[in-house]
Amino acid sequence: VFADMGLDSDLDGKLTKEELAKLQGFNTDWPPDFAGDLYVESDGLDQPLSGPLNASVRVEEGRILSFISRDLVQPVTIGPQGLTIRNYDPSYYNEFTLTALPMMKNAPPGCAARIEEPDLSAADQALKAELQKIPVGGSIEGDYPQVGKLYAQTLRITCGGA
């Protein structure tokens, strides 16, 4: 991103105030069909989310840290299967890692969150199977297998012992 935007020309991994100002907003200019790499399901049904809200960016140790809030388009009642939240790029070009449980503001009593790790062996096998479908000498440019969900951690929120 730095190179694409002409930032950090001295390659020290630090941005000037002017460069940081230029970087703000790079993560919120989404095409209309972009889901934002965040997916929420309730009882197996996809739950639509708003576009990016309260976005900010900072740089630490040469890494871009992007912060975006999103709202559910409609309130959701957490059913028996709980609420699942996954942050992934369908093509697995970008990888996201959950490093902590969320703060659950105003959650009803009895609600809890846990992070479930993906089955990486199964994900690798699925990717291998998809890649084997490509003819010898064929190209996957622009049509990479959509396996990101298989590699994603799941944040599961349950209430009332679900």
* Residue-level pLDDT at 161: 58
* Residue-level pLDDT at 88: 95
Between 120 and 13, residue with greater pLDDT: 120
Q: What is the dihedral of CA 74, 94, 103, 100, to 10 degrees?
A: 150
112-140, pLDDT tens digit by residue?
999 999 999 999 999 999 988 888 887 77
50-71, pLDDT tens digit by residue?
999 988 888 888 788 888 899 9
The single-letter code of the amino acid at 3 is A
pTM: predicted TM-score of the whole model, two decimal places: 0.80
The DSSP call for residue 24 is: T
61-110, pLDDT tens digit by residue?
878 888 889 999 998 888 888 899 999 999 888 888 998 998 888 888 88
pLDDT value at 147 more than 70? yes
Quick one: how many helices (H) and strands (E) in the chain?
Answer: 4, 7
